[in-house]
Amino acid sequence: MKVLMLGKYSVEAIKNISKERTKKVEQLIKKLGGKIDGMYVLVGEYDLAFILELPSVEDVIKLSVELAKLTGISFVSFPAINVEKFDNLVA
């Protein structure tokens, strides 16, 4: 399933920004069976956007908790489907 995750840095999370932590995040996503389509830094209400493929909603929940424990970054998650699939569902 496709998931958009938006993250907000805590003060502590900002202090600990590093390439090594980013690598640990990537490893965690892969460990949970995920695939990274994109990781972006944002300007505005949210600081990060991850576009991922994950096997299930349960894996999204687990990843969100594990990311918070690892990084101190809080995430909100939005399962998504493409417009073509949406049109087929509702048309």
Count how many domains the chain has.
1
* pLDDT recorded at residue 7: 98
Query: pLDDT value at position 91?
Result: 85
Measured CA to CA, the distance from residue 7 to residue 41 in angstroms comes to 9
Q: What is the reported pTM?
A: 0.91
pLDDT at 55: 97
18-51 pLDDT, tens digit per residue, is 999 999 999 999 999 999 999 999 999 999 999 9
Q: How many other CB atoms sit within 10 Å of the CB of residue 9?
A: 17
Is 57:1 a contact under the CB 8 Å cutoff? yes
How much is the CA Rg of the chain, to the nearest whole Å?
14
Residue 74, domain extent: 2-90
- The percentage of the chain sitting over the pLDDT mark of 70, rounded to a whole number, equals 100
| 12 vs 79: CA distance, rounded Å | 28
CATH number for the domain harbouring residue 61: 3.30.70.260
